[in-house]
Amino acid sequence: MALKIITGTRKSTSVVLLNAECGMIELGQQRQINQLKYRARTLSMGPHLPINLSVTEDPAYQKRKKKSGLPYAQNVLELGKYYETIDIKTQEPTYFSLRNLSKPNIDLHLTTLIKKSDNDPNSGSIAQNYVTDKYGAYTQIFTDGSKNEELEIAGAAFVVYQPKNVIIHQCKVKYNKELSMFACELALINSAIKWLNELKLTNAQTTRY
């Protein structure tokens, strides 16, 4: 019904023909695809995921539900046999403990001095004075990303200053127009970090507005 409303077709229009015309998958088939994908993602977790215990030939899990059709266990087994996905081996899951991650030292004090919602014309000088006073002896890296929806362009840049406001490096990057502004900024920060690692600088301060 939703597809008929969106396309503006009549109620008597065949759903099968409408799905084919719009390139849509029938709802029942999409449900089967989602179940197979979920099964593929969770199979490697074995008994650690309770729902995997239900995917057996046990009659207790094969009872047909009155309204919702076949239960998950029976449906997954039948789909697996039909598409021959039961014998596919999946990679064992790997886990990474958060304890192994070092806590980053990020200075967020600048967010208490200025806020974007205030539209203060002096925010730029406030930020610059704070960075200069506290990190004047550091090699400073300023990054910024931007995207123009109308022109369909996206890009970012970073500039590196030595202690006395001398530019020692700058980089401009043009990104795919499909990237969001946030993704552009993250990609550029990654580029700046790679540049730092190549020079092995230890006293660098990265600032993003």
pLDDT band at 3, cuts 50/70/90? confident
* DSSP per-residue codes, 101-155: SPPP----THHHH--GGG--TTHHHHHHHHHHHHHTTSEEEEEEEEEETTTTEEE
Contact 161, 187 (CB under 8 A): no
Would the pLDDT of 183 be above 80? yes
CA 53 from centre of chain? 30
Q: Domain extents for the chain?
A: 2-83, 100-208
Would the pLDDT of 61 be above 70? no
Contact 159, 168 (CB under 8 A): no
Q: Looking at residue 74, what is its pLDDT? A: 75
pLDDT band at 70, cuts 50/70/90? low
Contacts 24+ apart (CB under 8 A), 134-140: 134/107, 135/205, 136/163, 137/163, 137/203, 138/163, 138/203, 138/204, 138/205, 139/163, 139/168, 139/201, 139/203, 139/204, 139/205, 140/204, 140/205, 140/206, 140/207
